Amino acid sequence: MEPKKTPRPLVMLILDGYGISFIKEGNAIMAAKKPNIDRLMREYPMAVVGAGGEEVGLPWGEMGNSETGHQNIGSGRIMYQFLSRIDQAIADKTFFENPQLLEALEHVKKNPDAALHMLGMLSNGGVHSHINHQFALLKAASDAGVGDRTYIHIFLDGRDSSPDDADGFIGKLEQEMKKTKTGRIETIIGRYYSMDRAGNWDRTAVAYNLLVHGKGEHFPAWKDAMKTAFASKDRRMLESAPAMVIDGDAPMRTIQDGDAIIFYNFRSDRARQITRALMDRTFKKFPTEPWKNVYVATMASYDETLKTHAMYKDEEIKLPLGELFSKNELKQLRIAESEKFAHVTYFFNGGREKPYPGETDFQIPSIATKDVSEKPEMRAREITSQVLQEIKKDIYDVIVMNYANPDMVGHTGNFEPTVKAVEIIDEEIGKVADATLAHGGAVLLTCDHGNAEIVINHLTHQRSTDHTNNPVPVMYIAPDNKQDPPKDDVILQHVLGTPIGVLADVAPTALEILGIKKPKEMSGESLLGSLS
């Protein structure tokens, strides 16, 4: 028997926020008309893998997220995430001995006019930050004797945690502040402004001018401010809450030269723009202050070019998938819209900023809108169009692509637009699969985490804006890999209801398809035997 021909290109198609659940209520994926995905599921072998909690290096029960998912897919190993590492450090108290944390506190202690500013997203979502880390920082500031010079700047979530939880988070923070006799809430703003990652510098400017110049609507107390945050009566819009200053008891303390900043978000992609505005002295996007003596500690490394001090470093990832493609002289294309571009490049490459030799990165600008549910198509069609052009050019051996729609629209908690988002990517997946097969290539389809399968919680009947812990699909679509369709949906549900691996198994699967030996650094196992 002749050996199977290596497909070219191999398209690694990552659906963002597309999990598997058989609960119908609130399930935008089940509600969507998706003839292409349904056809491919029946014609080609598929399985599901774990994408949350300990299966991807997060604490038990923690929902998966895009950064973690792409890291696990690209590295071929379970990546123990910052959330787990920081939680453990707090538990064993080594957190309070962290050199960068101590330096930030000492910077304030030795200068009686200096202030300590704590920035971060106040949430228990565990995707970009965690409220418990804010609490630990309050204790550290209290122990250092700078509690009366500590100022807190809250970034509101509403996406990775329910908008309805926001008041409760601030209430818990207030209790912890009283307990430690530390801190004062100075500003509140939505993540739409403070955590933009798509190059919308006008949004970043709103957050910067709030933190540095005190530009925003003034309120006597945080509860008054939160009424404004929900003024639209659409709690989904919490993430775009305006710039708000809390100065009822005393004038606001803005960030000034000589101060220290602790930014406790541990995920880098949505922390980079505001950090660059604060610390990059060559910054030209909008006017900024030329500080000379501001100490900035960040929970993780955001950008190697900035003069900040990372409390926790990225783990070195040896021989991720992208490097192996490069070493084997395969030309690879990475393509996504802005919202997920870092995921198919930086995170997929294990935290490497620079493309590997033979790697081309193509970014399609995301639509600038406050409410993506009004544009559920996002840039899916443009991504498809570019991929089809590249397949015709016959340049690339591997194409890594991402459709952001199910995740980004699912985060709004708006059911019908999420259904529409799934239907749109179904159409695009059909085009990519057909073009790839016609060219002699193959598609390895997977997902980074769940979301769109629970837009309405079937227990509370309320909108769900966060990720899920559900398993995600893996499918191998190749000319010589067709199967006899399952006789009924019961068989198909059995296959999809039992995970056979984890996201770390996707990279070894891709390597086996391409005839590349898996390195010992990869702990994942190929699923090709189950997908053939």
The 10s digit of each residue's pLDDT in 278-288 is 999 899 999 99
Report, as an integer, the average pLDDT of 258-263: 98
Is residue 66 marked as binding? yes
Residue 397 annotated as part of some ligand binding site: no
For the chain, the average pLDDT equals 94
The Cα-based distances of 424 to 32, 241, 453, 464 in angstroms read 10, 29, 15, 21
Over 60: is that where the pLDDT of 420 sits? Answer: yes
426 labelled as ligand-binding?
no
Cα 110 off chain centre by:
37
The pTM of the full predicted model, rounded to 2 decimals, is 0.78
Q: Say what the pLDDT of residue 1 is.
A: 39
Residue boundaries of the structural domains of the chain: 12-79+317-484+512-530, 83-312
Q: Mind listing the pLDDT tens digit for each residue in 55-101?
A: 999 988 889 999 999 999 999 999 888 999 999 999 999 999 999 99
Please name which of 406, 281, 359, 339 lies closest in space to residue 20, comparing C-alpha atoms.
406
270 is in an annotated binding site: yes
Please, where are the H alpha helices in 222-354? Answer: 222-229, 272-279, 321-327, 338-342
**Which has the closest alpha carbon to 333: 382, 379, 402?**
402
In this predicted structure, the answer to whether residue 167 has a pLDDT above a threshold of 90 is: yes
Q: Find, among 345, 48, 342, the residue nearest to 195 by Cα.
A: 342
| Residue 145, amino acid | G
**107 is an annotated ligand-binding site residue:** no
pLDDT(128) > 60: yes
- pLDDT of 59 reads 87
CATH of domain 12-79+317-484+512-530: 3.40.720.10
Active site residues: 66
Distance in angstroms (rounded) separating the CA atoms of residues 55 and 503: 8
Q: Specify the pLDDT at position 238.
A: 79
**CA pair distance 409, 375, nearest whole angstrom:** 8
DSSP-derived letter for residue 365 is P
The pLDDT value recorded for residue 239 is 85
| Annotated binding-site residue? 448 | yes
284-321 residue pLDDT tens: 999 999 999 999 999 999 988 888 999 999 888 999 99
- 128 labelled as ligand-binding? yes
374, pLDDT greater than 80: yes
449 is in an annotated binding site: yes
For residue 492, is pLDDT > 80? no
| Residue 10 CB partners (closer than 8 Å, separation 6+) | 397, 398, 399, 441, 442, 443, 444, 510, 513, 514
Using the predicted structure, report yes or no on whether residue 487 has a pLDDT greater than 60: no
Task: Show the tokens assigned to 217.
Answer: 């609507």
pLDDT level of residue 162 (50, 70, 90 thresholds): confident
Determine the angle formed by the axes of helices 222-229 and 166-180, rounding to 10 degrees: 160
Tokens 């056979």 label which residue? 500
| Least confident interval from 87-101, 125-139, 154-168 | 154-168
Is the pLDDT at 416 greater than 70, yes or no?
yes
386, pLDDT greater than 80 = yes
User: Once rounded to an integer, what is the mean pLDDT over residues 469-473?
Assistant: 95
Is the model's pLDDT at 35 over the cut of 60?
yes
Secondary structure in 3-state letters for 437-492: HHCCCEEEEEEEEECCCCCECCCCCCECCCCECCCEEEEEECCCCCCCCCCCHHHH
With cut-offs at 50, 70 and 90, classify the pLDDT of residue 230: confident
Decide if pLDDT at 338 tops 90.
yes
Q: Which CATH number fits domain 83-312: 3.40.1450.10, 3.20.10.10, 3.20.20.60, 3.30.420.10?
A: 3.40.1450.10
